[in-house]
Amino acid sequence: MKGNTEIQKLRTEDLHLYYGDVHALKGINMDVHSRCITALIGPSGCGKSTFLKTLNRMNDTIPSVKITGKVILDGEDVYGKNVDVTVLRKKVGMVFQSPNPFPMSIYDNIAYGPRVHGQKRRHELDEIVERSLTSAAIWDEVKDRLKKPALGLSGGQQQRLCIARCLATQPEILLMDEPTSALDPISTSKIEELIYDLKKEYSIVIVTHNMQQAARVSDYTAFFLLGELIEYDTTNAIFSSPKVQQTENYITGRFG
């Protein structure tokens, strides 16, 4: 299931990241293709989350972090001069491992991003809210309770709400860090379907510990180990004929 378009959306060049003395990413060179799903796999602590956070600069909030190398997004360096991080993060949305809706109403959760980016008109906000919730396949479940607290939803619903909240800012890339690891199998499959649908419009990078999930939804798979990108190829190739022994060991479960 190779992606239908091969346009490059994002590229990292010799990306190194240090947490103080800990060398967490060691020279990552990787392309993310437009309108494809890229899965990041690898044992715990290998740097998947760290890598993901370099792409929308969420690492900026950690004081000890030092980064060298480049992240090129549509030809512009994410770590270059004069980058407006708020615009970057609007363009590169993120969904976290455990659902984290704000303690506000469902409506206000979705409208948060657009409001922060200057949208004030009620009518437009209404539209954005409906569109985002529909895209995240949760509109029917919540349309009668938009004014109710988002924390009253189930975990799976909350996670789809968070995806909707992310879509509301009209991102081009979605970063998802183990978005289904806190969910039951039914919620998980709903979100997997959703992710698969979203690929039509968005470029998606997803971290997962679930090999079947990576195989099911992704077009490309990257295998990380100890801060290095060991192998990166189409998901088909990685799962049917990995070139590196370590990759094979990992996906067949003989490792980590």
Partner 1 sequence: MSETQSIIAVRKGKSGVERTMNLLFLLCGLTAVVCVVFMTLYMVVAGGPIIAKVGFFDFVFGRTWNPENSQFGIFPMIVSSIAATGGAVLIALPCGVLVAVFLAKLAPDRIAAALRALIDLLAGIPSVVYGLLGAILLVPLIFNLQTALRLPTSGNLLAAMLILVIMILPTIISVSETAIRAVPKEYEDAALALGSTRLQSIFKVSIPAAKSGIVAGIVLGTGRAIGEAMAVIMVAGNAAIMPTLLGPVRLLTTSIPIEWAYSSGTHRDALYGIGLALFVMIMAINTIFRKTLKKGGAFDDG
Ligand X SMILES: Nc1ncnc2c1ncn2[C@@H]1O[C@H](COP(=O)(O)OP(=O)(O)OP(=O)(O)O)[C@@H](O)[C@H]1O
- Of 138, 140, 248, the C-alpha closest to 198 is 138
d(CA 158, CA 164): 10
Site for partner 1 in 134-173 (CB under 8 A): 147, 149, 151, 162, 165-166, 169
What kind and span of H or E run contains 84? none
What character string, x for contact with ligand X (CB under 6 A) and - otherwise, covers 209-228? --------------------
- Asked if 70 and 54 touch (Cβ cutoff 8 Å), the reply is no
89 binds, among Mg ion, ligand X, partner 1, none (CB under 5 to 8 A by kind): partner 1
Least separation in angstroms between CB 250 and partner 1: 29
Contact call for residues 113 and 154 (beta carbons, < 8 A): no
250, 252, 192: which is closest to 44 by C-alpha?
Answer: 250
Q: Is 102 helix (H, G, I), strand (E, B) or coil?
A: coil
CA 40 – CA 237 distance, rounded (Å): 15
What are 17's two structure tokens? 């990241």
Per CB under 6 A, the list member of 9, 30, 38, 47 interacting with ligand X is 47
The residue among 103 and 253 lying less far from partner 1, judged by its C-beta, is 103
Half-sphere exposure of 1 (CA within 13 A, CB side): 16
Question: Binding string, 53-92, against partner 1, x = CB under 8 A?
Answer: ---x-x--x-----------------------xxxxxx--
The entry of partner 1, ligand X, Mg ion, none that residue 192 binds, CB within 5 to 8 Å by partner kind: none
Single out the residue of 29, 64, 100, 245 in contact with partner 1 (rule: CB under 8 A): 100
| Residue 113 contacts partner 1 per CB under 8 A | yes
User: Could you tell me which stretch among 47-55, 82-90, 132-140, 168-176 binds ligand X (CB under 6 A)?
Assistant: 47-55
Asked if 49 interacts with Mg ion (CB under 5 A), we say yes
Nearer of residues 3 and 42 to Mg ion, judged by Cβ: 42
Residues 135 and 126 sit within 8 Å (Cβ to Cβ): no
CA–CA separation, 62 and 255 (whole Å): 31
Window 1-30: residues binding ligand X (CB under 6 A): 19, 22, 24
Instruction: Name the one residue in this structure whose structure tokens are 């954005």.
Output: 128
The smaller minimum CB distance to ligand X, of residues 53 and 90, is found at 53
x/- site string to ligand X, residues 49 to 68, per CB under 6 A? xx-----------x------
- The contacts of residue 137 (CB under 8 Å, 6+ apart) are 160, 190, 193, 194, 197
Q: How far apart are CA 248 and CA 238, in angstroms?
A: 8
Binding site for partner 1 (CB under 8 A): 56, 58, 61, 85-90, 93-94, 96, 98, 100-105, 107-108, 112-113, 115-117, 147, 149, 151, 162, 165-166, 169
What residues line the site for ligand X (CB under 6 A)? 19, 22, 24, 42, 44-50, 62
